[in-house]
Structure 1
């Protein structure tokens, strides 16, 4: 997850996928001295099986770690320093080394709040939750009205592709589909409970609470407390996400009955992935194949727009790069061939963020034709004009202190927080209308959203973050408008 590189926003989930070189033809040369153990994505031609590619991998002294025959992609490890050239041949379309291409998950500080617990209520009324009064975000999208009609169906499972979910949290313990949860770190699914619990980040726990925290008289409420969430862990202990983990996450969600996924991150070596760059194309192709496959299996992907205050419809430059120190220190010029993934992938619902005012958060990226809808993401600077933070203007949700191994509640802000609001609304929509396809569901979210008009002139709620809104009823800041929980179930 990852989107706010070099930002101090308290919920930037950063996930960056790597790049590699497309290769063709050639026979394996004489063996070289062993190099470092490196992970590669090996792609068979579009529509082809992976058997021929697997044979090439073996001949090139590689080991298949995971095989996704459904999309013609192999995850491979090898110590052969010439693997990229040696594996080339019949059955191999392209290869991407993922070494050094992860981007650290940047969360910023979590502001903890009191863990006061009220007596359990039996009214199923979210407004009775002890901390509901601090959840300004839920009334903004009509959650209480929605719950009076439909609080969600347990048949709907939302995949949280993130840093894991605390299975011991009192607001989440009853909400997790443990049989559908897994860690994809390393590119291989591990279903043991300890594997998919958080180890170094509570970002996924916070996201999960926004989607489905239980109405149980404890803590907070989620947008859709009747649905289930599945932990699909894709962030390693160093808080990096690598291509093999993200790819595994999409495929796991597709093959385990998830109807919605939340993706609070972007994928690639910089904040943009350029399809016309030979180094980046293989990973881009692998991710696209996984997204298309999961959509064909009935999965709608909801993604954050990012926290760089970029106009994504007019991209021209980025100096962002992976920060694990092993990728060449370079910046690049970008054009329309360069996209934010998964947010700009076809069929993905892209979500911008608003403050408690209902207006664009200072950090939220935007773009006419890119942003589909908006949702509460918080803005801890709007009341002080950027001078000092007001934590309660962030999003309150469930947390897990990975140092002390204790559960709690706290505030974060970012489009990482707006995306799960939209994912929760999508889950409510599926609960009320279970036959919807991903395309129908995406359209329904937009048609039921409440239109938000553009601000006039330059919008700069925090000095140094100017932006200009374009468009009419559907515009660059808010897309079709604010998601609305009541509208999708009434």
Structure 2
């Protein structure tokens, strides 16, 4: 039996002290103009046949009183709205319909609207302080000035790999996240504006720069820096500093990633030359999407179709496993879903899936700290963890000048800051995948994934019960013995092997 994880934007942030007094990571960029839709209209996905046969499904949506927002004939999915709370049940009986479900648990119809749950997750992600854009940075012999604090890059041998290759500018990595600050001095050279998009306007692609820029979160900018911050004499250096980045914004201003946003993001990646995606999030509002509920089953199927479509077109999708210290290989109790209305408590098992990390073919990544031991927060599981990577851990202290066990990367306002989370581990793996794709441009996505795992350095399970701080709060048991499979999958990713 499998379980799934509880992760929104999967990183907790700490940012270094600011030289200008900047104390938050609030972003000032303008958001894309939302579509005109009745505020009391709920959102649905409707499943039908692929290709031209979807026209019959579209007619049924209209006949049932729905409004079509976007059709995806590539995967046989229609995204629609309706003011009728029973729309999914009605449309399931219509011609050309293979399934249907509300994507936001009908929260749009709630009166009054309910606020989002999951405050514990947001607290874990909170940004604290910053190294500002105009802060003095001392030159470093090892690389860009702040790279002396990048213990994470040394752990995966990225510094050695970059002496051979920094990756190819022909490789494009899609960052499905909260947007990338394209003007950041460490990112500007590598952001591909022409292939960036916003998907938070109800899952309809919007290529205007405002639609894919960060608005309320620095999360995507931090992830982007880990993957491909340039080697340019300022700030840090990413795993693959020469590859390009597409900002594929799937996180709205309230911090939600609904199915229609993710569908848009994966299809965009598949059709715009993206070879690797990073996905440091879970799809809302259900931490675990269970197929005994027809709405959840349909929405999960729609997202899975989009992921599978991208994989068939050669995209390697990498995803964070989550920050709840859960063993995803065993049943759990989910008490936090739906997180956009009043949560309910339910037991979940093999019929439930965490999206996107548990979709077949997606590379699930757990997190370690500087001691190469499981981060106290990291989810894990013997069948869910493909590889592990540095995600930071405040309890594991490196011998760097800053003595900060979190991961240092780019944040908004041209600054740099620290975060910890499997959100930070996943982009390290995406960066290594980008290096493999740069070294072996003709390899299939499946062969790249096999190579990522084959190159990984095995880490053995710790004996007995793992208790990282001795308090019993973060205990975990690793299944797999010397293989380390339960905590670490195939092992710690290796950037040096990726370029040899």
Aligned twin of 1:9: 12
Q: Where does structure 2 lack aligned partners over 5 or more consecutive residues?
A: 15-37, 108-115
Q: Kindly state the Cα deviation for residue 311 of structure 1 after the two structures are TM-superposed.
A: 0.7
The alignment of Structure 1 onto Structure 2 pairs a total of residues equal to 451
Moved more, 250-259 or 331-340: 331-340
TM norm structure 1: 0.87
Moved more, 335-344 or 145-154: 335-344
The two structures, once aligned, show a CA RMSD in angstroms of 2.4
Q: Kindly state the Cα deviation for residue 342 of structure 1 after the two structures are TM-superposed.
A: 1.3
The correspondence for 2:44, drawn from 37, 40, 47, is: 40
Q: Which string of whole-angstrom CA distances, capped at 9 and with x for unpartnered residues, describes residues 427-469 of structure 1?
A: 0000000111111111000000111111111111133010111
Could you tell me how far apart the structure 2 residues matched to 1:163 and 1:350 are? 20
SS at match of 1:49: helix
Q: Kindly state the Cα deviation for residue 110 of structure 1 after the two structures are TM-superposed.
A: 4.2
Contact 1:5 / 1:320 at 8 angstroms: preserved in 2? Answer: no
Could you tell me how far apart the structure 2 residues matched to 1:465 and 1:245 are? 33
Confirm or deny that 1:145 pairs with 2:145. no
Could you tell me how far apart the structure 1 residues matched to 2:95 and 2:70 are? 20
Confirm or deny that 1:345 pairs with 2:359. yes
What does 1:128-207 correspond to in 2, within 5 Å? 128-185=143-200, 186-207=202-223
Could you tell me how far apart the structure 2 residues matched to 1:280 and 1:144 are? 43
Moved more, 162-171 or 98-107: 98-107
Q: Kindly state the Cα deviation for residue 291 of structure 1 after the two structures are TM-superposed.
A: 0.9
Aligned twin of 1:396: 408
Confirm or deny that 1:419 pairs with 2:426. yes
Could you tell me how far apart the structure 2 residues matched to 1:94 and 1:360 are? 40
Aligned twin of 1:219: 235
Contact 1:274 / 1:338 at 8 angstroms: preserved in 2? Answer: yes
Q: Which string of whole-angstrom CA distances, capped at 9 and with x for unpartnered residues, describes residues 270-317 of structure 1?
A: 322223332310011101111111101100100011111111111232
SS at match of 1:440: helix
Aligned twin of 1:66: 70
Q: Which string of whole-angstrom CA distances, capped at 9 and with x for unpartnered residues, describes residues 45-79 of structure 1?
A: 47773100110111122221111001100111223
Contact 1:39 / 1:76 at 8 angstroms: preserved in 2? Answer: yes
Contact 1:117 / 1:218 at 8 angstroms: preserved in 2? Answer: no
Contact 2:368 / 2:390 at 8 angstroms: preserved in 1? Answer: yes
TM norm structure 2: 0.85
Q: Kindly state the Cα deviation for residue 95 of structure 1 after the two structures are TM-superposed.
A: 1.3
Q: Where does structure 1 lack aligned partners over 5 or more consecutive residues?
A: 12-33, 385-389, 401-405
Contact 2:153 / 2:239 at 8 angstroms: preserved in 1? Answer: yes
The correspondence for 2:386, drawn from 372, 392, 407, is: 372
SS at match of 2:46: strand
Q: Kindly state the Cα deviation for residue 483 of structure 1 after the two structures are TM-superposed.
A: 0.4
Moved more, 248-257 or 103-112: 103-112
Could you tell me how far apart the structure 2 residues matched to 1:364 and 1:138 are? 19
Aligned twin of 1:21: none
